[in-house]
Amino acid sequence: MSALLPPTVWADHRLEWGERTHVMGIVNVTPDSFSGDGLVIDTSSEENLVQRAILLAQKFVTEGATLIDVGGESTRPNAAPISAEREMARVIPVLRSLREKLPQEIILSIDTYKAEVAAAALDAGACMINDIWALRHDPAMAELAAERRVPVVLMANMRGYQKREIVSDVLRYLAGCIDHALTAGVAWEHIIVDPGIGFGTTPRENLTLLRRLGELRTLNRPILLGNSRKSTIGLVLGGLPVSERLEGTAASVALGIAQGADIVRVHDVHAMVRVVKMSDAIVRGTFTLPDS
């Protein structure tokens, strides 16, 4: 493992890097998530939706998640975009309730690329922005992140990008996004990077990124890995459906930690917390065995 990065500190929150791997639980307030875990269904009332989101997030926290990522728009390939108004109608009531119900130390992240949604989410209790376009889709997003002084996840999105060699492409893309964020006034210590597994990348490129994830350490920023239930896992394992990708996710999480992942964004928190604890004990040596 490389030298420890300084902690990310903001408001009442603090994320230490290198001593442990943080688990981020996914709460999809959508009807069309690729993973089949979206909480929105046509017959759901807003109250029912919020209650189910609270129960899911509370379950994740009980199981060991320290971050909860709330998203209101599916980002799967070919998903239809929705308006900011519709996205806010989904996520804002959920975030308000989660902030009231969850322990204050739990970090709520908003998964959006729209500044209008991000601003409303931060007002509702979110304290981190997870942007699949790395602050580049909405011109106002970088300024918002800088003004609110919150951490941002910059994800490499290769959709429409002219690729040559995937690891070099991702490094170049993320370096440019980091420069963009810094120029807008985002603090260096508030930047987290994500290789963007499955976003404009082929299965072979995804495997290459996972195998060489450690090369992202040259960016000197914490790494978030979001490979949970992705299609590459199903393909490698012989065409398994989303519901049967737990072991493949576990393998990629463990190997990702060995390569330097600092946060893992997952659907199956209970199982992945166990994977993380075992991986950290081996890779980071942070577990103390009881006297025999």
Residue type, 126: A
230 is catalytic: yes
H or E element, residue 225: strand 224-225
Contact 111, 69 (CB under 8 A): yes
Q: Is the dihedral of CA 75, 216, 61, 133 positive or negative?
A: negative
H or E element, residue 134: none
Catalytic residue among 265, 274, 277, 284: 265
Catalytic residue among 90, 114, 148, 230: 230
Angle at 252 between CA 230 and CA 181, to 5 degrees: 75
163 is catalytic: no
Residue pointed to by tokens 């003004």: 147
CA dihedral in degrees (182, 256, 126, 74; nearest 10)? Answer: 100
Q: Please return the burial class of 244, using the count of CB atoms within 10 Å of its CB with bins 0-12, 13-18 and 19+.
A: middle
Catalytic residues: 230, 265
